Amino acid sequence: MTLKYKYTRLNVSNYEACKKFYQEVLGFKVSFVDDNDQYAELDTGETKITIFNRQGLSEFVGSNGEISYDENYAGVVLTFMVDNLEEILEKLKAKGVHLINPPWNFSDRGFISTCFRDPDGNLIEIEQILI
């Protein structure tokens, strides 16, 4: 059996705010959009992030009560690599992004990182390799 990773889908409560955030704040290009179904695919480099209005999810997976959301959920973290963390953080702060924590130096692992959340509460990490 061979599995090939295709994308990460974020099932969001505010489709328009999240689509705008990933486009305008993080700078990802939309490669496909269906605003009627509130679904968008964004290019992030080697993979994609897709955004889908979670109200439509129950039609896709059923509504047996097994789907729940917590705005502080951290079970999945979107991690992006950057060349210059300080430069990126200045740009993000200028666009109103609030950091959850100051940059943290993981010297034993050779990187520095920090986290923030998108408008729907999804956790995002920005990481710079120091080695």
Tell which of 17, 37, 61 closes a domain: 61
pLDDT of 40 higher than 70: yes
What's 6's domain CATH number?
3.10.180.10
| DSSP designation for 95 | T
Tell me the residue range of the domain where 19 lies. Answer: 1-61
- Answer left, alpha or beta for residue 41, where phi above 0 means left and psi between -120 and 50 means alpha: beta
- Shared-domain flag, residues 88 and 37: no
For the chain, the distance separating the N- and C-terminal CA atoms, rounded to the nearest angstrom, is: 36
Is 19 domain-assigned?
yes
Is 66 domain-assigned?
no
- Shared-domain flag, residues 82 and 112: yes
Is 104 domain-assigned?
yes
- pTM for this prediction: 0.86
89 vs 111: CA distance, rounded Å:
15
- Shared-domain flag, residues 35 and 79: no
* Confidence tier at 67 by pLDDT (50, 70, 90): low
| DSSP designation for 99 | B
Tell me whether residue 57 is exposed, middle or buried, using C-beta atoms within 10 angstroms of its C-beta: 0 to 12, 13 to 18, 19 or more: middle
82 vs 129: CA distance, rounded Å:
8
Q: How many domains does the chain have?
A: 2
